[in-house]
């Protein structure tokens, strides 16, 4: 997850956005472990706080061999402290790890050359590598939120699918999530958009909310996840699930 959103006081353990966003990741992981003889290694690329990987480990501990949090932002002290742990912090993916799931939760949009980083991952991992990738969707929703977080672009399903296929990733499912709130967010961001604000973004749109509103949004968006694979039209986030050929 993006560390800048933590700076605004968002707690992913309770915030509706992160709690509903982990649902499709969990569902995908459950399909993988049904036919998996060995525990999987979770590679959280661009992990930041590692929230989603930690949540997976907490929910499915016996199905996870180890968790590798990959982020160049970690200090040498952080790397050293986790060397012997089940959850390890690293700058790069060790070569040739097999039986893995690579999760990239809103990472590709931060990287200028998204093709190069996917190639680097492909060249590092071994057999039986699965992918779960989320990215912000639709350039028409571009706003100061994207600029503040350091995004280069937003994606569509065809755009993300084309990119993944260049790295021989066979896509099993691609879809949009947060479709129900898309029209309102699109409208609000268009209203807020101004030349001055676009040049000087000062904060993320992600904020803590009063508990009742947060609970309603969490329930509403979690329910939407049950029909996620049918939505190939629009949403705030684009998701791809697949496997390296």
Per-residue pLDDT of 54-89, as tens digits, reads 999 999 999 999 999 999 999 999 999 999 999 999
Q: Indicate the pTM of the whole model.
A: 0.95
Give the count of domains, the chain. Answer: 1
Give the mean model confidence (pLDDT) for residues 188-201: 72
Cα 230 from Cα 73, distance rounded (Å): 37
CB 198 within 8 A of CB 144: yes
Residue 50 corresponds to which tokens in the numbers above? 């590692």
> CA–CA separation, 101 vs 130, rounded Å?
5
CATH number (domain holding residue 161): 3.40.50.150
Terminal alpha carbon distance of the chain: 27
Residue 19: pLDDT band (50, 70, 90) is very high
pLDDT at 197: 63
- Which pLDDT value is given to residue 5? 73
Contact yes or no for 103/43 (Cβ under 8 A): yes
Range of the domain at 178: 3-244
Q: In the chain, what percentage of residues exceed pLDDT 70? A: 96
| Neighbouring-strand partners of residue 101 | 42, 130
Asked if 17 and 219 touch (Cβ cutoff 8 Å), the reply is no
CA distances (Å), 35 to each of 43, 44, 102, 128, 141, in order? Answer: 19, 21, 17, 12, 38
């Amino acid at each position: 997850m993006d560390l800048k959103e933590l700076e605004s006081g968002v707690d992913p353990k309770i915030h509706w956005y992160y709690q509903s966003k982990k649902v499709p990741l969990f569902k995908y992981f459950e399909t993988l472990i049904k036919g998996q003889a060995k525990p999987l290694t979770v590679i959280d690329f661009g992990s930041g706080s590692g929230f989603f990987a930690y949540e997976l480990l907490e929910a499915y501990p016996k199905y996870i061999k180890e968790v590798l949090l990959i982020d160049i932002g970690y200090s040498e002290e952080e790397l050293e402290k986790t060397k012997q742990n089940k959850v390890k912090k690293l700058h790069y993916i060790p070569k040739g790890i097999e039986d893995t799931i690579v999760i990239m939760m809103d990472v590709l949009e931060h990287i200028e050359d998204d093709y190069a980083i996917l190639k680097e991952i492909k060249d590092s991992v071994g057999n039986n590598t699965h992918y779960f990738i989320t990215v912000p969707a639709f350039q028409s929703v571009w706003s100061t939120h994207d600029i503040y977080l350091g995004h280069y672009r937003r994606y569509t399903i065809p755009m993300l699918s084309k990119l993944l296929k260049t790295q021989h990733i066979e896509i099993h499912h691609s879809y949009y999530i947060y479709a129900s709130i898309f029209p309102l967010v699109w409208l609000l961001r268009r209203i807020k958009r101004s030349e001055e604000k676009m040049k000087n973004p000062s904060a993320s749109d992600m904020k803590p909310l009063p508990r009742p509103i947060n609970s309603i949004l969490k329930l509403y968006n979690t329910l939407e996840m049950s029909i996620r694979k049918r939505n190939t039209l629009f949403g705030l986030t684009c998701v791809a699930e697949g496997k390296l050929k």
